[in-house]
Amino acid sequence: MSDMKLAFVSAATEEAAEARAMLVERFGEVPAEQADVVVALGGDGYMLETLRTAIGSGKPIYGMNRGTVGFLMNDYQPDGLPDRLRGAQPVTLYPLQMRATCRDGQVTEGLAINEVSLFRSSAQAAKIRVHVDGIVRMEELVCDGVLVSTPAGSTAYNLSAHGPIIPLGADILALTPISAFRPRRWRGALLPHSARILFETIRPEKRPVNAVADVMEVKDVISVEVWEDRSVKLTVLYDPEHNLEERVLMEQFAP
């Protein structure tokens, strides 16, 4: 393995665990805190989990797909792994910070690498007031929900909600409604990465709303603040022929 020290982590699936065992036997490993690179085996969900674990460590993450979608992962190929790691290209990701205030006054903070989403949690449509940088930009959005997406997350739930694909490095966030009823024709907005977004729920006692930062859910919120946190820097490694920027570009021309 020359002088490169690796740590291998895997999702709980049998396929991922078997891949990890084989790679450890073949290349050896060190604890994650001593590694030069952490190799994550699983799908996109596990990559997000690994990235959250890596916050504050400065460790680059190299993912190999042993899951379902694997948009954030490299192809699984054990052969030549040391050379692939040395030739891998780094991509810097900045997460979103969420600060959610609940009806009982509790405040919860969380980081999201893909998106922060608000969802109605009853049969009633949500009514949400949207502020951007202290200015009310939409007095009342009637919808199933609304989300703010990073460029890395723009091809995930944001795309399913008909939001725009954002190239990495564009310094833009996507603000995308989920099944908007009023304004019916509103398709969202593109915001500078420095924007601070505030969502206020209208009549939350009748129209309860939950907030989600990637996978962390906060129930019965009355307000949610979202902004990009550039104090947190995450590094993901990609094979040159399969880098994330190229895949984001390819998604925009997918049939």
> Which two tokens mark 223?
């307000």
End-to-end Cα separation, the chain, in angstroms: 41
User: How many other CB atoms are found less than 10 A from the CB of residue 194?
Assistant: 11
Catalytic residue status for 44: yes
Q: Sign of dihedral through CA atoms 18, 23, 24, 30?
A: negative
| Spatial contact of 96 and 229, defined as CB atoms under 8 Å apart | yes
Give the HSE-up count for residue 16: Cα atoms under 13 Å, Cβ half-sphere. Answer: 23
Q: Which of 44, 79, 171, 239 is catalytic?
A: 44
Q: Please list the active-site residues.
A: 44
